[in-house]
Chain A
Amino acid sequence: MSNLSVNHLLGIKYITKNDIELILDTATNFKEVINRPIKKVPSLRDLTVANLFFENSTRTRLSFELAQKRLSADVVNFSASSSSVKKGETLIDTVNNILAMKVDMVVMRHASAGAAEFLSKKVNSKIVNAGDGAHEHPTQALLDAFSMKEKLGNLKGRKIAIIGDILHSRVALSNIFCLKKLGAEVKVCGPITLIPKYIESLGVSVETDLRKTLEWCDVANMLRIQLERQDIKFFPSIREYTMLYGLDKTLLDSLSKKIVIMHPGPINRGVEITSDVADSDQSIILDQVENGVAVRMAVMFLLAGRQ
């Protein structure tokens, strides 16, 4: 167990439990690195990485860019809104043009599910999926698992609830794959219209009652309502959603045990989670952001190490 089994990180579905553990172990070393006075190591100084963001992002993009810079890689950034994509260029043409400038690794976010996998078959470069539609967001799942392990230790048998818009969430799917591979129990909770049919086939349980879910779990991962992906109405109103699925301090304090609160961001304060919960001592939301850089460093370091 000293190298990844894959050449690209397209999704958690495609990697093994050993891969996940290797990435998380390596991330521990990088977390120590980014807390040093000089937060930079020269490992990738001979590589150029392109960040292709065909969809908006702040956290993931910054986190990837910081991770690349702390590994001493050269970085080029691209966002669809200010590029020739607007002039009708295809994805493969865009990427091949960028690769012609001798780029070794591509980090891509795209609105279409499967975009990263498609690209990995067509171009000769290492691909890291930074989110493809409602499919996968592997580095988010890895950093979530890393943050949970940091707080709880081994995740085997731990009870993790993913709450909110499961249907449109790539974070939910990647988290489910990752947590199941690490041996955790996973429950999804949300309005029944926002829970995909047959999700139980992934080995998770479904619950529509927020309080019951919170009483059951050790960790609650609160997800945002992805209104931008919802072309029809899935619930009557945001207000009603908040009343039934919003987590506030009163509810949190009334639980019989202290659970850990996570959120992949961006937070809609006052919708899925109130400010006092997001900022409480049970929340590890900012730890997740810090760990994101370490985990992404580990992913790119390990991928670059493959021949």
Chain B
Amino acid sequence: MKPRVLLENKQLEVTLTRLCYQLIEVHNDFSNTVIIGLQPRGIYLAHRIQKLLEGILKKKINCGDLDTTFYRDDFRKKELIPNRTNIDFIIEDKNVILVDDVLFTGRTIRAGLDAMLAFGRPNEVELLVLVDRRFSRHVPIQAKYIGLVIDSIETQNVKVEWAETDKKDRVTLIDK
């Protein structure tokens, strides 16, 4: 089957902007809130959101990258390559927005929650994803802020491309 484009260019921009305003509605001026993107693909979304928010709020927003490899439960079942973790701020008592591109089984987020605790005890943790693949969760994890909800089957893949690495912004649904 031909890949189906779910989001592209202007649409994606609108979605990201909407997510930002949803965040502002809850977190006001972000004085006690930080953003953490999950490696490897969530960091691009996290930094986009950070930039957009900085543009809207005219202030610096803390945004870090978190790698979950060492906390995963499927280590030894498949090859995992660790990525850099870079969190240069304190998350103790902060409101943390975890960011990932696609929410599928929820296992990455579960590992992310564990990994995050190595940096302190946050006040509250919320999850933001660009694409939520419904009905495919292995663990009881749901996102609070969602760009797009889709129904997909196991044999399909959601591919999120970013201009930073893939030359263009695009979300497509492809058959494996």
Contacts and interface: CB of A to CB of B under 8 A. Distances in A.
- Which DSSP category, helix, strand, loop or mixed, fits chain A's interface? loop
Interface centre among B79, B82, B84 (most CB of A within 10 A): B82
B120 A37 contact: yes
Interface string B110-154: 000011011110000000000000000000000000000000000
Interface string B52-91: 0000000000000001011100011001111111000000
B104 to A, nearest CB: 21
Contacts of B75: 43, 305
A18 to B, nearest CB: 13
Given A37-B120, A38-B117, A42-B71, A29 B80 contact: no
A33 interface: yes
Interface size class of A (residues with CB under 8 A): 10 to 19
Given A32-B84, A32-B85, A33-B70, A38 B118 contact: yes
Contacts of A37: 118-120
Interface string A11-54: 00000000000000010110011001110111100000000000
A42 B118 contact: no
A2 B82 CA distance: 10
Nearest to B86: A32
Interface centre among A3, A26, A37 (most CB of B within 10 A): A37
Contact of B118 (A2, A36, A307): A36
Contacts of A42: 70-71, 114
B118 A305 contact: no
A41 B79 CA distance: 18
Contacts of B70: 29, 33, 41-43, 71, 301
Contact of B85 (A3, A29, A304, A307): A29
A40 B70 CA distance: 10
Contacts of B81: 2
A142 B128 CA distance: 40
A232 B114 CA distance: 57
Given A29-B84, A32-B84, A3 B118 contact: no
A3 B79 contact: yes
B76 A307 contact: yes
A37 B90 CA distance: 10
Contacts of A71: 70
A249 to B, nearest CB: 37
Interface centre among A26, A42, A71 (most CB of B within 10 A): A42
A42 B71 CA distance: 6
Contacts of A41: 70-71, 115, 118
Contacts of B79: 2-3, 305
Interface in A130-176: none
A11 B18 CA distance: 56
Contacts of B83: 29
Contact of B82 (A26, A38, A304): A26
Interface centre among B81, B85, B114, B119 (most CB of A within 10 A): B81
Interface string A289-307: 0000000000001001101
Contacts of A40: 118
Nearest to B79: A2
Q: Which 7 pairs between the two chains have the least Cβ-Cβ distance?
A: A41-B70, A38-B118, A29-B82, A43-B70, A2-B79, A2-B81, A36-B118
Given A43-B75, A305-B76, A305-B79, 13 more contacts: A2-B79, A29-B84, A33-B85, A37-B118, A37-B119, A37-B120, A38-B117, A38-B119, A42-B114, A43-B71, A71-B70, A304-B76, A307-B76
Interface of B: 67, 69-71, 75-76, 79-85, 114-115, 117-120
14 contacts: A29-B69, A32-B84, A33-B118, A37-B118, A37-B119, A38-B117, A38-B118, A41-B70, A42-B71, A42-B114, A43-B71, A71-B70, A304-B76, A305-B75
